[in-house]
């Protein structure tokens, strides 16, 4: 089918220019066969009904084209059916150029612009002027009850062709209403951003001498998250031996700031980074929950340099490391330090199940010998027997135990029974 708009617009002179400029062949493809009957589809209808202005061209007896701007409330150019549009003609400057032109030649060209979306629709049609006397019912359909302007007549246009134009060279422009709408959107986006920033205090939390920034967050298990901490200038941090911990300031949901301790879990050879791993305690006082909910990359802290109440022995006696659950954090750093020092050691790590045990995979890769895992809540799996481990340990070994109170108690009891001197059993309880 031939495009109706092209059929009307592409006169012999127009076609001659197209031929000269090389576009004739492509346009010719749209002009084959009988001419289609133009029919407005959903896109055209929605576009027309959203317009609050358009331009209308008409021609007088002299042949001069005349372009008139028409404006009204959005949708004042009404789609009467898929082939017809119409609008109410309000009282104006009383020149009546368009109305007069239509008396001699009913052909019009409409030009509808959507500046913000850089879209335009061109329509050819034949106009009929109606008034109260000729068709009061149709005039009532064209009227806009909420628009306070006097309707003089109605213009009903039977569409003979339409065409969408490319957006090139349309500068986006906005009506006052559109600007207000965009300001509202931008204002609420800024407000949302500000409230997110308030949740993450701009100010560093705490007042220690050491300024740290959270530079990485990793989910190690469903309840444990690791936080990487760097100095603000990414320089070296105060050295932290295995077993050390940080006193960390935490802002609770009620706004109060409390301190919680977290063991340094990274390999102590890293001088420019600390890492802590935080177990989310749902029935606690909210410290670990607040960390999980508010700390993110960029969170700034001011802390005291690390303290160490759980240091490794400095000589070459063998070691037995026993970790329960989140107690793996200092034990991991200890294993890495002992390996580097070539001190023989065993690592026994117990958790409720595989999914509760942070760092388990990388420990298995790093420590191919002397690494044992146990599950306390998986039927059929080996449970840790602390007394047995201690009984079969190398002669003179030093024991390091970190985990639940019950685990630490079990180690103490076994040491008593086996006659192991208390200074050979080091422990750290998190509670």
Ligand X SMILES: Cc1cc2nc3c(=O)[nH]c(=O)nc-3n(C[C@H](O)[C@H](O)[C@H](O)COP(=O)(O)OP(=O)(O)OC[C@H]3O[C@@H](n4cnc5c(N)ncnc54)[C@H](O)[C@@H]3O)c2cc1C
Residues near ligand X (CB under 6 A) are 245, 260-263, 276-279, 281, 283-289, 326, 329, 405, 428, 430-431
Report the residue number, 70 or 332, with the smaller CB distance to ligand X.
332
Report the residue number, 48 or 358, with the smaller CB distance to ligand X.
358
Q: Find tokens 């007896």 and name the residue.
A: 61
The residues, ordered by sequence, that sit 6+ positions from 219 with a Cβ below 8 Å of its Cβ are: 225
**Residue nearest ligand X, CB atom distance:** 284
Q: Find tokens 């008396």 and name the residue.
A: 103
First CA to last CA distance, the chain? 83
Minimal distance, residue 428 CB to ligand X, in Å: 6
Minimal distance, residue 223 CB to ligand X, in Å: 9
Report the residue number, 5 or 262, with the smaller CB distance to ligand X.
262
Minimal distance, residue 409 CB to ligand X, in Å: 12
Minimal distance, residue 185 CB to ligand X, in Å: 39
Report the residue number, 152 or 281, with the smaller CB distance to ligand X.
281
Would you put residue 233 in left (φ > 0), alpha (ψ -120 to 50) or beta?
Answer: alpha
Beta strands 224-231; 274-279: pairing state: antiparallel
Minimal distance, residue 400 CB to ligand X, in Å: 13
Would you put residue 337 in left (φ > 0), alpha (ψ -120 to 50) or beta?
Answer: alpha
Say if residues 114 and 175 touch (Cβ distance below 8 Å). Answer: no
Report the residue number, 161 or 287, with the smaller CB distance to ligand X.
287
Report the residue number, 245 or 348, with the smaller CB distance to ligand X.
245
Minimal distance, residue 224 CB to ligand X, in Å: 7
Minimal distance, residue 384 CB to ligand X, in Å: 19
Report the residue number, 172 or 284, with the smaller CB distance to ligand X.
284
Q: How many CA atoms lie within 13 A of 236 on its CB side?
A: 7
Minimal distance, residue 282 CB to ligand X, in Å: 8
Report the residue number, 160 or 428, with the smaller CB distance to ligand X.
428
């Amino acid at each position: 089918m031939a495009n109706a708009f092209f059929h009307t617009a592409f006169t012999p002179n127009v076609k001659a220019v197209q031929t000269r400029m090389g576009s004739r062949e492509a346009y010719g493809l749209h002009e084959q066969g009988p001419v289609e009957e133009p029919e407005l589809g959903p896109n055209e209808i929605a576009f027309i009904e959203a317009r609050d202005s358009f331009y209308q061209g008409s021609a007088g007896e002299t042949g001069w084209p005349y372009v008139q701007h028409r404006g009204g409330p959005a949708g004042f150019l009404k789609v009467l059916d898929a082939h017809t549009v119409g609008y109410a003609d309000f009282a104006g400057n009383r020149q009546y150029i368009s109305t007069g032109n239509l008396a001699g030649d009913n052909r019009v060209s409409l030009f509808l612009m959507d500046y913000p979306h850089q879209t335009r629709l061109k329509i050819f049609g034949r106009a009929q002027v109606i008034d109260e006397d000729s068709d009061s019912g149709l005039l009532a359909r064209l009227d806009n009850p909420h628009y306070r302007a006097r309707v003089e007549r109605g213009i009903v246009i039977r569409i003979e062709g339409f065409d969408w134009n490319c957006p090139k060279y349309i500068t986006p422009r906005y009506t006052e209403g559109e600007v207000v709408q965009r300001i509202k959107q931008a204002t609420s986006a800024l407000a949302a951003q500000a409230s997110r920033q308030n949740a993450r205090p701009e100010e560093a939390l705490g007042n220690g001498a050491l300024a740290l920034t959270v530079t990485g967050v990793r989910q190690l298990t469903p309840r444990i998250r690791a936080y990487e901490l760097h100095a603000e200038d990414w320089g070296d941090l105060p050295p932290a031996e295995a077993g050390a911990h940080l006193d960390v300031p935490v802002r609770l949901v009620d706004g109060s700031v409390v301190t919680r301790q977290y063991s340094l879990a990274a390999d102590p050879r890293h001088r420019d980074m600390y890492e802590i791993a935080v177990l989310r305690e749902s029935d606690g006082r909210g410290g670990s929950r607040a960390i999980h909910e508010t700390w993110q990359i960029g969170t700034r802290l001011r802390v005291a340099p690390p303290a160490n109440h759980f240091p490794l022995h400095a000589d070459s006696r063998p070691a037995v490391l026993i970790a329960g659950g989140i107690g793996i954090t200092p034990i991991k750093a200890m294993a890495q330090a002992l390996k580097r020092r070539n001190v023989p050691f065993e690592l026994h790590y117990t958790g409720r199940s595989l999914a509760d045990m942070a760092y388990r995979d990388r420990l298995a890769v790093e420590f191919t010998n002397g690494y044992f895992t146990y599950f306390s809540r998986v039927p059929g799996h080996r449970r840790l027997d602390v007394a047995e481990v201690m009984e079969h340990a190398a002669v003179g070994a030093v024991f390091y135990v970190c985990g639940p109170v019950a685990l630490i108690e079990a180690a103490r009891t076994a040491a008593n029974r086996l006659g192991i001197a208390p200074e050979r059993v080091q422990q750290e309880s998190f509670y």
